[in-house]
């Protein structure tokens, strides 16, 4: 619905959060907070069947009825939240906590089998990483790749030297 706030002694109207974009906010930190804490939970709640499209003039009754419908939907989709915590604890969750609770990775880790079954199929951006990589470490302001121990053990210096000599020298092989 938006909100009236006092800024430098003047009343100002803030537009509804659902209509805000990061570029309209004064700092990068606020834009990041909008994208990571507010939008995920709002988008999940808007997926609820029965939530009507938003009218131009949103009133308190519409907000309350939509909230009840969306909360019931969350109880079905992320039921693990209500199984693990009591109602008093849930009522103290911040918007950031709710956005984290509805994230695909959280549901895969902590969700009930029903919650996990209701997840949409994995796409490009939410698939687990399939490639195996070596680690990285920082040494004296340089970054070096850590070669896994298995790869280090496979190297045989004698064979490497023979291959080098065979490739670049005219040394006949015995």
DSSP 2-48: -EEEEETTEEEEEPPGGG--GGGSSSHHHHHHIIIIIHHHHHHHHTS
Domain holding 140, by residue range, is 135-168
Q: What percent of the chain has pLDDT over 70?
A: 71
CB 70 within 8 A of CB 62: no
Same domain, 8 and 58: yes
Same domain, 83 and 22: yes
Q: Is residue 173 part of a domain?
A: no
Same domain, 121 and 140: no
- Total domain count, the chain: 2
45: left (phi over 0), alpha (psi -120 to 50) or beta: alpha
Same domain, 102 and 28: yes
What's the whole-model pTM score? 0.59
Same domain, 106 and 139: no
pLDDT of 50-62, one tens digit each? 887 777 777 888 8
pLDDT of 95-113, one tens digit each? 888 888 888 888 988 989 9
Q: Is residue 102 part of a domain?
A: yes
Same domain, 112 and 145: no
pLDDT of 127-159, one tens digit each? 666 665 656 565 666 656 666 665 555 555 555
């Amino acid at each position: 619905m938006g909100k009236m706030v006092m800024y430098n002694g003047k009343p100002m109207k803030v537009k509804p959060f659902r209509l805000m974009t990061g570029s309209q906010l004064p700092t990068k930190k606020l834009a990041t907070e909008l994208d990571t804490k507010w939008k995920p939970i709002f988008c999940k709640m808007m997926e609820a069947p029965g939530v009507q499209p938003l009218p131009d003039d949103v009133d308190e009754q519409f907000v309350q009825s939509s909230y009840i419908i969306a909360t019931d939907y969350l109880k079905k989709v992320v039921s693990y939240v209500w199984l693990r915590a009591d109602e008093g604890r849930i009522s103290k969750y911040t918007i950031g906590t709710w956005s984290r609770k509805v994230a695909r990775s959280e549901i895969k880790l902590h969700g009930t089998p029903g919650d996990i079954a209701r997840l949409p199929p994995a796409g490009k951006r939410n698939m687990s990483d399939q490639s195996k990589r070596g680690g990285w470490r920082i040494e004296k302001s340089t970054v070096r790749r850590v070669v896994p121990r298995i790869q280090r053990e496979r190297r045989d210096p004698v064979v490497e030297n023979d291959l080098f000599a065979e490739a670049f020298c005219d040394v006949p092989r015995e």
